[in-house]
Amino acid sequence: GAVVSQHPSWVICKSGTSVKIECRSLDFQATTMFWYRQFPKQSLMLMATSNEGSKATYEQGVEKDKFLINHASLTLSTLTVTSAHPEDSSFYICSAGENYEQYFGPGTRLTVT
């Protein structure tokens, strides 16, 4: 099946700094990628839909200036958490879509101290 990777798998950063998370589709080209946030023992919350070569579409309530998404190629999308604060600590998961199916990355655990 299709493989999606994320890097890093975990990251600790200080409050006020920015963190970039990469999402790559390894064996297929993904026109569309999705970014989710998951709090402990909760479901996935869609943050934004990322389309190659165009601006991301953010879900209601997600700050687009705080969570910058760039989908520069058909295999790479990045999420940058700018000026991170402790409340941004979470598990971030990306997925890449193909024919109405989504393949998920392993997730990135972000801890902001």
Partner 1 sequence: AQSVTQPDIHITVSEGASLELRCNYSYGATPYLFWYVQSPGQGLQLLLKYFSGDTLVQGIKGFEAEFKRSQSSFNLRKPSVHWSDAAEYFCAVVLSTDSWGKLQFGAGTQVVVTP
Applying CB under 8 A, the residues found at the interface with partner 1 are: 1, 4, 6, 32, 34, 41-44, 46, 49, 51, 91, 93, 95, 97, 100-107, 109
Tell the smallest beta-carbon distance from residue 41 to partner 1 (Å): 8
Q: Residue written as tokens 């990469």?
A: 22
The nearer residue to partner 1, 2 or 68, going by C-beta atoms, is 2
The nearer residue to partner 1, 74 or 82, going by C-beta atoms, is 74
Tell the smallest beta-carbon distance from residue 5 to partner 1 (Å): 10
Q: In this structure, are residues 35 and 105 in contact, taking their beta carbons and an 8 Å threshold?
A: no
Segment (H or E) for 39: none
Query: How far are the Cα atoms of 7, 32, 57, 72, 91 from residue 54, in angstroms, in the given order?
Result: 22, 10, 9, 9, 25
Tell the smallest beta-carbon distance from residue 64 to partner 1 (Å): 17
